[in-house]
Chain A
Amino acid sequence: MRVPAWTAAGWTRHAATAAGLTALSVVAYLLLKGVQGDRGQVVLLVVVWAIALTGLNLITGLGGYPSLAHVSFFGGGAYLSAYLLGKGLPMALCALLAVGGTMLAGLVVALVFSRTRGQYFAIGTMFFTAVTNLVLTNAADVTGGPNGRPVDLGFSLDTTLVLLAASLGLSLGAFYALSRSRFGDRLRAIREDEDLAQHVGVPTARVMLIAMVVSSAFGAWAGVLFAQYNGVIAPSQFTFVQGFLMLVAIGLGGGGRLLAPLVGSAVVIGFTQLIKLGPGVSQIVLGVLFILVTLLVPNGILGGITALRRRPRPTAPDVPAPAPARAKEVAS
């Protein structure tokens, strides 16, 4: 249920969220600026992934469709901006064209696959990512082949950091607005029961199409920033395993919840980058963790926390009764 925007409670809620996200951006900037070396790389990856995953959270979290194509949009933004920058265009234009071009690709993918249901959608988007990766690896004159290509410096490092931190807050804010709009409600309706949604007049295919195009924009912009910070990009950063890990991050965080991209990417990046368990082991742990969360806590970490907080505590009888059940989405 939505908080009506025109009530005082609604505005307080929106203002609190805006303040929280602004604070998050500031913290992100300080961390990006202050943390050096390997850990700095981890902070960067978490921020970049959180921006990209905000888009995935629309389609997978709200809409319930497991998209494995998101990593291709991420890679598309990175490669397109690097290619255009190599042609000598100004950076702002490159970024714009890269995001626009990727959205166009997203539109084509969405036109084909937005009509397909769950399993077929997963198979189709997975294949799309595999083919994108094949192109990145083989079209060596444009993409630099399997070893990747360098990226010219378009933004100064400090501009990139500011943009990263600001984009984190802004994209989460955009998600907040979208998820509380009619569009968000329609996506949720599709997730709950697509047949019923269609029956009551939700144009399901069109909503999915728009969600996919919008989500590709988030992915592409994150890719542009990632390429600028990293300075070199390679196909191995955009494989379908990465695409699947993005899905894992959303599932672990709690699909459809505002902070799921941040929590999910922190867990996934933390597991793969910080904890050195030897090759493969961290991914095995992630796989087991992901299956357990899917089986036991379908709403992810954030959903689990919310459920725990809301549970009445029978052991302490004189605790005042919990507040009347509030709307599920509000508490996230």
Chain B
Amino acid sequence: MIQVLVNGVFLGCLFAVVAVGLTLVYGVMEVPNFAHAGVIVLAAYTTWSVSHAGAPFAVAALAGIACGGLVSVLTEVLAYRWIITRPAAAPAVALGLLLILQNVALRLYGGEGRSLDTPYDTVLLKAGSVSLPGVKAALIVLAVLSLVALHLLLSRTSLGRAMRAVAQDREAAAMLGIPMRRQYSLAFLIAGLLGGVAAVAYGPTFQVSPYMADDVLLSAFVVVVLGGLGSVWGAVAGGLVLGVVEGLGAAYVSAAYQSAFGFLILVLILVLRPGGLRSTNARRVA
């Protein structure tokens, strides 16, 4: 039972890191960033190829995270920036970008899965009957660290204050002289860096492949809906809830249908609590 919960927390941290990136972008720009999965894939492949070339893992990880930030900012500059006045086109553009990024990965690295080796592969933490592989422990640590860093950024710096202002009311923020374009790029940069962290952290537990992030992305979107689009702490809480639910479902019902439990939750929320568990000013239901 505790083992199942620990696995759930692992999944939850993963979902939270991805979902915070999504919700940050949505809060600032109202874009459902499906392309985030593509960013994660490219970051994971970068990490793989740098470490495959013989560099130490820490360097490879940093390269992967940087690549995530770079690709994410590129999607904003090249595509999302041009549809800021037409939010209805956002899902279409986001999916188009996902198609491009995934197929770039497919083209560059081929379709077969690659395994990412880490120095902490063989570590196994044990406490009584509960065991936690080093890879999963590293993910939890990385997730907590990056979320705390994000919290400090959002709450303690003027950049963070400006970003929260943009998320609350774009027009008012623009009137107060906040440089909007910089905020958009910054949101995508942070989202991309978090995507890179997610890629480096969970690449080793799965295989690196062009479609590795699809399931995670869908679950992360459920998390975002659960927490309310645009709410960072909602995303963290939602991530943990969904991670535990999927972990329990996989352990006690059927592992093959793990992500279907996320869908079940999504349906339940939309039917029972159309405002999300934690209400935000983002509107979703008529």
Contact = CB atoms under 8 A, between A and B. Distances in A.
A131 B259 contact: yes
A112 B264 CA distance: 11
The 8 A-B residue pairs with the shortest CB-CB distance, nearest first, are A280-B103, A287-B99, A287-B100, A280-B106, A122-B91, A280-B107, A291-B96, A138-B256
Given A131-B259, A134-B259, A280-B107, A117 B286 contact: yes
Interface stretch (B56-64, B81-89, B191-199): B81-89
A124 B99 contact: no
B151 interface: no
Nearest to B110: A279
Contacts of B103: 280-281, 283-284, 287
B77 interface: no
A131 B92 CA distance: 21
Contact of B87 (A118, A241, A251, A280): A118
Given A66-B91, A115-B285, A247-B92, A291 B97 contact: yes
Contacts of B107: 278-281, 284
Contacts of A135: 257, 260
A279 B111 contact: yes
A138 B285 contact: no
5 contacts: A116-B285, A119-B32, A124-B270, A205-B286, A244-B99
B160 interface: no
Contacts, number: 131
Contacts of B117: none
Interface in B99-121: 99-100, 103-104, 106-107, 111
A256 to B, nearest CB: 13
Question: Which secondary structure dominates where chain B touches chain A?
Answer: helix
Contact of A123 (B30, B82, B225): B225
Chain B interface size, as a band, is 35 or more
B74 interface: no
Contacts of B39: none
Which of A64, A66, A119 counts the most chain B CB atoms within 10 A? A119
A142 B95 CA distance: 31
A291 to B, nearest CB: 4
Interface in A108-133: 112-113, 115-120, 122-124, 126-128, 130-131
A290 B95 CA distance: 10
A117 B283 contact: yes
A203 B79 CA distance: 35
Nearest to B83: A295
Given A120-B225, A283-B100, A294-B92, 11 more contacts: A112-B270, A115-B274, A116-B286, A118-B91, A123-B225, A127-B218, A280-B104, A284-B103, A287-B97, A288-B96, A291-B93
Contacts of B266: 123-124, 127
A191 to B, nearest CB: 9
A16 to B, nearest CB: 32
Nearest to B79: A291
Contacts of B88: 64, 118
B221 interface: yes
A56 to B, nearest CB: 13
Contacts of B98: 244, 287
A194 interface: yes
B190 interface: no
B169 interface: no
Contacts of A205: 286
Contact of B222 (A64, A115, A127, A241): A127
B263 A122 contact: no
B259 to A, nearest CB: 7
Contacts of A128: 263
A238 to B, nearest CB: 15
Contact of B96 (A124, A127, A131, A287): A287
A124 B86 CA distance: 21
